[in-house]
Amino acid sequence: MLVTGGSAGIGRSIAARLAASGATVVTCARDEPRLRTAARRLPGTVDPVACDLTDHRQRRELIDHVIERHGRLDALVNNAGTGRVGLLTDLDADSVREVVALNVIAVADLTRLALPHLVGRRGDVVMIASVAGWVPIPPLSLYSATKAAVDGLVHALRRESSPGLRIHSVNPGPVRTEWLLRAAGLRPSDDEGRRGHTFGSRPERVADEVYRCLTGYRHRTVTVPRWLGPARLAGLPPMSNVLDLVLAPVAPLVARWARHYQETLVGRARGDGRIDGDGLTDRMTRRPS
Ligand SMILES: NC(=O)c1ccc[n+]([C@@H]2O[C@H](COP(=O)([O-])OP(=O)(O)OC[C@H]3O[C@@H](n4cnc5c(N)ncnc54)[C@H](OP(=O)(O)O)[C@@H]3O)[C@@H](O)[C@H]2O)c1
């Protein structure tokens, strides 16, 4: 099984859950030392592969590696994803490109490369999407749009793929990870990630849902926690019309609060003052190009 973004957060929990159940799990991330350390600490067989999923060549080599080293691919879990905190006009062109490259292009292309190995036999594709894809909330507007694209891909693939193939969509609300540090363009270490995690569900709960997808019999669309399920209705009129009216006037205020929260987390993660990556303040004040 291939789980993308396995060095931290939800991906690490999914890799742990699947490896503990006896599966051979290939994981990937860009930070190789951190990925290898994470893999060593997980139970069972975990094969860490350094890979930047925004690079087409590396995506192809990743799938080739899985087939050459392990002989087959039973499931692809498209977990790696990122976002930016800000109204669309707050973001620079690089941020827009990075988010779309990972959340949409890499997901679609990796799935395209994986499908020939999954069709003709029982196989699974799991998309880690988001409730934000159904209910876009500023200041995660661009992020929400990319997750809506993933949701569209899920439905399209269900309609075009063979009966043996199942396409699942796991949609978390907020999850306790270091997501907001990466959303600031940072590359946190384990310790920094622990200090700078967000509020929300435990990542293990998402991993449990992925496990249920892979051991069930049909396509599944689930939320984490389950009670967020009705959020899908908020994406449809008249609820979506009400949200348009209510959110537009407060969006700048919400964006300011969210940035403040993000800066607080970055400060907490810094602890000893060191964190890799661009300075958050520089990034957040950069004007769009
Ligand atoms: N946390 C939440 O509240 C939440 C809610 C709903 C949905 N989600 C979704 O759940 C998924 C996982 O989120 P998370 O919170 O666990 O994120 P996270 O803590 O930031 O972890 C992201 C993982 O992806 C890897 N990654 C990032 N960019 C990559 C790239 N270009 N190539 C390969 N690997 C890359 C990271 O490692 P490297 O940096 O070393 O590459 C890391 O292992 C994402 O799709 C996210 O959108 C999260």
At 19 the pLDDT is: 97
Percent helix, strand, coil in the chain (nearest 5)? 55, 15, 30
The arithmetic mean of pLDDT across residues 140-160, rounded, is: 97
The pLDDT > 90 percentage for the chain reads 89
Are 45 and 66 a contacting pair, CB within 8 Å?
no
Does residue 12 or residue 274 have the better pLDDT? 12
2-286 to CATH, choices 3.30.70.870, 3.20.20.80, 3.40.50.300, 3.40.50.720: 3.40.50.720
Residue 286 banded pLDDT, cuts 50, 70, 90 = very low
Confidence check: pLDDT of 274 > 60:
no
Cα separation, 192 vs 180, in Å, equals 12
Cis peptide before 237 (omega within 30 of 0): no
Considering the entire predicted model, what is its pTM? 0.94
143: annotated active-site residue? yes
Residue 272 banded pLDDT, cuts 50, 70, 90 = low
Ligand 1 centre from 127 Cα, in Å?
12
Nearest CA-CA partner of 114 in 171, 157, 50, 159: 157
The arithmetic mean of pLDDT across residues 158-164, rounded, is: 89
Ligand 1 centre from 249 Cα, in Å?
30
123-128/75-78 β-pairing: parallel
From 42, 82, 134, 147, the mutation candidate for ligand 1 (largest count of ligand atoms within 8 A of CB) is 82
